Every structure is written in C-alpha cells, then in structure tokens.
A = this chain, B = another copy of it.
C-alpha cells in the first residue's frame, strides 16, 4: 500500500511516517521503480501500530527504540522492558507531582484578586511583583517528562 493509505490505517499523517523513517524508527519502505513512491506491507503497519501505542503512552523515540529492539529478540529476557516501563512510570508520576504543586500555587495566586478593579491594586500583580514565600524556587525542575511549560495557545 501507499503511504497515504498506511497513514489512514494507523492514524498518523504521511509527514509523520516519512519523519519516522528518517529518524530510524521505521524501516525504509521499498520504492516503486516507476514513480519512486513508497510501498508498505503488513509488517510496516504492525510496527507503526506498536509505535503509535508507545507514543500514546508518552514514550520518547529513544524508549521506543529499546522496545522495538526487544521485540525482534524473542529469546532475550524481558527484564529490560520491565525496567523501562517502571522508569517511564516514574517520569510521568514526577511530572504529575510537579504540576500539582503548580496548580496549588496558581490557585493561591488567583485568590489574591476577588473583585475586579484596576491593575494598580490587583493582588495578583502585587504577588507576582513581590513573591512572598520563597516559592521563587522552581517548583518545576526539568524532569524527564516535560509538561511544565505552557505552550502557545492553539485552542481556539
């Protein structure tokens, strides 16, 4: 099948699939000699489904590579896999903890302004200007899983 159909089947865009090939996550497809189009078979599809599931679980390409390796070594011990998943769970839990601290701080900050008034008298700005507690220290350390930063608003 051609890349467009593959994309539809697995739920990636064609660009993403080409990107994965370039990154080495997906084996290069055979090319149709007539037009140089990529041709995919069932093994590509299975591999992409696997990758998609891993990405859905927020693994890095590096982590996924390890799992893909293990997948083609059926006689090896699965200890590596277990460790990887365990570590990854820690990554996610660490990020959750960071974000929960953030949430608390933000809600407290929000509480500094109840009624609408001029910015001059806004408790929020005041708080941001003169951090009261030493919450100046980064609640968000750079743990392995990002997600502390707030990205540009693409929600309409």
Point out the residue from B76, B85, B129 that lies within 8 Å of A50, measured CB to CB: B129
CB distance from A110 to the nearest CB of B (A): 5
A149 contact set on B, CB distance < 8 A: 58, 60, 145-147
Q: Does A8 contact B (CB under 8 A)?
A: no
A24 to chain B, nearest CB (A): 15
The verdict on A52 contacting B136 (CB below 8 Å), with A71-B125, A119-B77 known, is yes
Which residues in A have some Cβ–Cβ distance to B below 8 Å? 11, 46, 49-50, 52-54, 56-60, 62-63, 67, 70-71, 73-79, 81-82, 85-86, 88-89, 91-93, 95-96, 99-100, 102-103, 105-107, 109-110, 113, 116-122, 124-125, 128-129, 131, 135-140, 142-155
